[in-house]
Amino acid sequence: AQSVTQLGSHVSVSEGALVLLRCNYSSSVPPYLFWYVQYPNQGLQLLLKYTSAATLVKGINGFEAEFKKSETSFHLTKPSAHMSDAAEYFCAVGRDDKIIFGKGTRLHILP
């Protein structure tokens, strides 16, 4: 069954530093993959999604993710962190016409 594993439940980076949030998927075929962001007491906002059209996916707010089949990874990056990026980030996979979420990574931005 397809699933995703997010490495690190908490990640802290300094403002202006590179953001790297890790996600690995398990699938025998290229899946649909997503990154969502959730601010406290709010719903989900789609950052970006991979649908096999291009391996490097650009999303909103300066985020991007690269699909690497050889590593079964779909890590999320942003060149320069802003304080406003502090939130919970979820990697997710499309499976059997459903979206299944990873456990999430809390991103902390240090001033």
Tell me whether strands 105-110 and 87-95 are parallel, antiparallel or unpaired.
antiparallel
By CB under 8 A, the residues from 57 to 86 that bind another protein are none
If one asks whether residue 1 binds another protein (CB under 8 A), the answer comes out as no
Q: Enter the DSSP assignment of 6.
A: E
Q: How far apart are CA 34 and CA 16, in angstroms?
A: 24
Q: How far apart are CA 48 and CA 20, in angstroms?
A: 15
User: Judged by CB under 8 A, which of 44, 58, 83, 84 binds another protein?
Assistant: 44
By CB under 8 A, the residues from 6 to 35 that bind another protein are 32, 34
Q: What residue ranges bind another protein (CB under 8 A)?
A: 32, 34, 36, 41-44, 46, 49, 51, 90, 94, 97-104, 106
